[in-house]
Structure 1
Amino acid sequence: MTTPSNPPAICLDVTRLVSRVGRGPFTGIDRVENAYLAHFLKNDVRLLGLSRTAAGYVLLDRPGLAALKARLDGRAQWGAPDLIGRLSRRLPPARRGAEADLRRLAIARAAPPLLARCLARHLPAETLYLNVGHSNLTRRVLSAVRGAKGAHVAVLLHDTIPLDYPEHHDPAINAGFAQRLSAVAEKADTIIANSEATEASLGRHLSSLPRQPRIIVSHLAAERPAKATASSADLLPDRPFFLAVGTVTPRKNQALLLDVWEVLAKEHGAATPTLVIAGAQDPRTDAVAGRVRASALLMRHVKLHEDLSDAAVAALMEQAVAVLHPSFSEGFGFVPIEAALAGTPVICADLSVYREVLGDMPVYADPTDMYHWKGLIEKEMQQSGGEQKVAREWAIDPMRLTWDTHINTVLIKLG
């Protein structure tokens, strides 16, 4: 018997991965879509992939998706732009080559008005369509998938942060998210939430819409950071340091850490630990980097790193006195969980998702209380004796948070 948990075919939307080509290391959501692709490629399932491009939609089969994965992993080179790519001047060069490769690998292509006909022809009956990347969530796409015989539409929504904290985002982003959520509510069969906290926030926002798909919950994976390499050690400061990892945005609240370090530097002088902020800068604001550059005091004690490899972040995380994460909001939040798996102390904002996944392991702090953070950081320095931290064993079961566990839980609950 065919059910969504045992479908004859899976169609994974890979639009987000393609859109990230040439844009640096994967973000959290990128990693999720990449993990789903890797999981299904290693399992015996009929696999298809859908992606939006500047010139319409492409459908890939398993060999095409394997070739895409090899390019994403750096095991194969991206090809040269084709004629369409050369004419797509608004796309970055790397994206032109990537989309050209998709067209070369595709088993089918469709202009937007013909997508429904294309999918009806090529998707086997009762295909499970999975979209886990917050991309390509339009009524056109979801309606086209539903038009395929017996297709089941499942969408992973990572958070509702643009609706919960609109002040942290551009109004266009907030409006776009609201449109995607409305389309998902109208067209999806199942919404996958990455935590009970996300499930609760989704429930609040969906309650005002005419239709509410069922919601299932499955925690994402949290893997031990990649093994540090000798070259990564060059990044390590020559004195004890604290680490903050994540895109530098108002929501991540790195500004609070700068407030703390200004006071620490004035009080402790040369004994002040280094603050390392590892994360891409939000292209819409230069507030954190600009503030550091403008302050001789902060320049001495704060280091900013963009586009670090996983190995480089792992090297920093292994040696940091503690990982600091004062974010105002998270859907799941990989950083504190990965720090815990690395045995590194964590000081983080008191968010419900961290209570849900990590329990009492971190030290929790109000993300608006700079002096509370300062006191906790000073306490951590005293406990570490001013030296790099000694790895701690945390009571977290890494087998509970694997990609196989997450995806298999999703498939079981879809049934």
Structure 2
Amino acid sequence: MDRVEAAYLKALIADPVPVFGLIRTSLGYLLLDPAVLTIFAQQLRGVSPFPPTGILSGMHRNVTTEVRQALSSARRLAIGRVAPWGLPKLLERHLPPGFAYLNVGHSNLTDRVFRAVKSVSGAHISVLIHDAIPLDFPQFQRPNTVRPFEEKLRRAQAHADLIIYNSADTKRRAEAHMQSWGTVPNGVVAHLGTTISEPDASKLPPGLSPTEPYFVTVGTIEPRKNHAFLLDLWAQMGPAAPLLLICGNRGWNNREVFDQLDGLSATSRVKEVNDLSDAALSRLVAGAQGLLFPSHAEGFGLPAIEALTLGTPVFCNDIETFREILGEKAVYATVSDSYLWLSTIEAWTTRSHAKREKIRFDAPKWDDHFKTVLRLT
């Protein structure tokens, strides 16, 4: 979701309508006006450095150095700082009647924030829902996360004037839950845009520049992504298998997969690769025989979109989200059909890049997304 938040921040700063930033901290809330929000956005993008951290930065424990620097800078830039109970007065003091509140990151979906926003006359609330996966597939979630997600969606339902969905599948699934709880807010589907990092081989870690045919799978290593399925396929293929690069950081509830990855030898046909820069990951995806995406569920499936945009074939599980977003540009097979997966991987392994069909994929664009969203918020 970080990329989505970054895209929204960039678009709203560029828009002629003034944009303010609301930040929750462990001490309360900060409000940034349009001028300082632009400065803060440049710091977040690395265009300009964060200033030295202040004394209060020590209050933020269990966060990265970058987060501590960002919070310290935001405190200095803020035009208003309040304890949690002071949020309504902060918003009433600085924001005009009828302002629009956009929440696009599944965070701050609290009664306190929503009620504070609504305390300003005519304020309009829009919330972006990325998926309903925790409710539809609770077996894949981290412990103690399903109920909090349901509570967030219930609060969005209770307070939002508009809910934005990244896909029609997400809309259908989320609204099915909300219908069982009460009135469903107005909703709109707006596919997320895609920003591709230019492939750069110089950004690859030492020793990671495959010269043989290889496949990639991209995403956090957690049960929903179904890495276990790919590891089983590679075990069936044995030493003759092509190289598989599993690109992503380790997630949760996946001990058997982690144990298999920990047991990989230097000569294994599977390699785990993590902490790649966007440019390095783009290079690996662009050079692959194909992106494999056997995920059980997705809200949008950004890695597949990025792969097709780079001209790399995509082979994925046959689920509604992929059909909606990728259309006929991907190859589909259910994960119950191991034979079709094996035969397709074998065929793609020997196919040269020069001879494979040119992929012409019209990826969703951020301009189209914001044309849909901003006229309604």
TM-score if structure 2 supplies the norm length? 0.94
Q: Which residue of 1 aligns with 2:373?
A: 410
Q: Deviations over 1:342-362 (max 9, x none)?
A: 111110011111111221211
The one of 112, 126, 131 aligned to 1:154: 126
Aligned with 1:77: secondary structure? coil
Aligned with 2:289: secondary structure? coil
Distance 1:155 1:75, change over 3 A: same
The one of 287, 294, 311 aligned to 1:326: 294
Q: Which residues of structure 2 form unaligned runs of 5+?
A: none
CA distance in structure 1 between the aligned counterparts of 2:39 and 2:258, rounded to whole angstroms: 38
CA distance in structure 2 between the aligned counterparts of 1:331 and 1:364, rounded to whole angstroms: 17
Q: Does 1:374 align with 2:342?
A: yes
Report 1:78-157 matches (<5 A): 78-157=50-129
Q: Which residue of 1 aligns with 2:173?
A: 201
Q: Deviations over 1:11-64 (max 9, x none)?
A: xxxxxxxxxxxxxxxxxx110010000111222221101111111111111222
CA distance in structure 2 between the aligned counterparts of 1:392 and 1:142, rounded to whole angstroms: 50
Q: Which residue of 2 aligns with 1:212?
A: 184
Q: Does 1:393 align with 2:358?
A: yes
CA distance in structure 2 between the aligned counterparts of 1:258 and 1:275, rounded to whole angstroms: 9
The one of 33, 37, 45 aligned to 2:5: 33
Identity %: 40
Name the aligned partner's letter for residue 42 of structure 1.
A
The one of 256, 266, 269 aligned to 1:301: 269
Aligned with 1:360: secondary structure? helix
Report 1:51-90 matches (<5 A): 51-90=23-62
Counterpart contact for 2:222–2:252, Cα < 8 Å: no
Counterpart contact for 2:264–2:270, Cα < 8 Å: no
Name the aligned partner's letter for residue 334 of structure 1.
L
Q: CA deviation at 1:82?
A: 1.8
Q: Which residues of structure 1 form unaligned runs of 5+?
A: 1-28
CA distance in structure 2 between the aligned counterparts of 1:161 and 1:99, rounded to whole angstroms: 30
The one of 259, 264, 267 aligned to 2:232: 259
Q: Does 1:282 align with 2:251?
A: yes
Distance 1:392 1:127, change over 3 A: farther
CA distance in structure 2 between the aligned counterparts of 1:204 and 1:328, rounded to whole angstroms: 19
CA distance in structure 2 between the aligned counterparts of 1:177 and 1:193, rounded to whole angstroms: 16
Q: Which residue of 1 aligns with 2:209?
A: 236
Q: Which residue of 1 aligns with 2:221?
A: 248
The one of 270, 279, 283 aligned to 1:311: 279
Counterpart contact for 1:241–1:388, Cα < 8 Å: no
Counterpart contact for 2:223–2:253, Cα < 8 Å: no
CA distance in structure 2 between the aligned counterparts of 1:220 and 1:392, rounded to whole angstroms: 26
- After the TM superposition, list the runs of 4 or more consecutive aligned residues in structure 1 that deviate by more than 6 angstroms: none
Name the aligned partner's letter for residue 327 of structure 1.
S
Q: Which residue of 2 aligns with 1:226?
A: 197
Out of 325-334 and 81-90, give the one that drifted further.
81-90
Name the aligned partner's letter for residue 393 of structure 1.
K
TM-score if structure 1 supplies the norm length? 0.86
Q: CA deviation at 1:190?
A: 0.5
Aligned-CA RMSD value: 1.9
Distance 1:287 1:107, change over 3 A: farther
Name the aligned partner's letter for residue 227 of structure 1.
E
Q: Which has the higher contact order (CA 8 A, sep 6+)?
A: 1
CA distance in structure 2 between the aligned counterparts of 1:218 and 1:97, rounded to whole angstroms: 33
Counterpart contact for 2:201–2:280, Cα < 8 Å: no
Q: CA deviation at 1:299?
A: 5.4
